[in-house]
Amino acid sequence: MEDLSLDDFLRRNRELADLSLEQLRGLSESDKHWTARRSFLARNLPHYPRERMDYLVALSMVWANHIFMGCRYSDHLMEKVLDMADGVDVEDAPCFTTRDEIMKQKR
């Protein structure tokens, strides 16, 4: 039996990979939110072994929470997820004003 890397497997079995990603969708996740998070997951899936899948899912949620709800996390974590999301397009992403930006405007 041929020993395939995850990249090779995904290229050869895109439909199967797409179906398995669907299992990671949250019950109350909107189509727009899921489309973006799914792209994040698909982009990074080859870099995470099966036993680290929970970590990848958590990172995808951190990224989605930042994009769609304006949540902030540590600088290190934000740098990591934003780097992981490089190339992921988010259609009609909301724009948030941070507390620090509001405080600067009041001065």
pLDDT in tens, 76-95: 999 999 999 999 988 877 77
pTM of the model: 0.73
- Domain ranges in the chain? 6-106
Query: In the prediction, which pLDDT does 49 show?
Result: 82
Spell out the residues 6+ positions from residue 97 whose beta carbon is closer than 8 angstroms to its own. none
- Rounded distance between C-alpha atoms, residue 96 and residue 33, angstroms: 16
pLDDT in tens, 23-69: 889 889 999 999 999 999 999 988 888 888 899 999 999 999 999 99
The radius of gyration of the chain's CA atoms, rounded to the nearest angstrom, is 16
Q: Is the pLDDT assigned to residue 97 strictly greater than 90? A: no
Question: Which amino acid does the sequence have at 58?
Answer: A
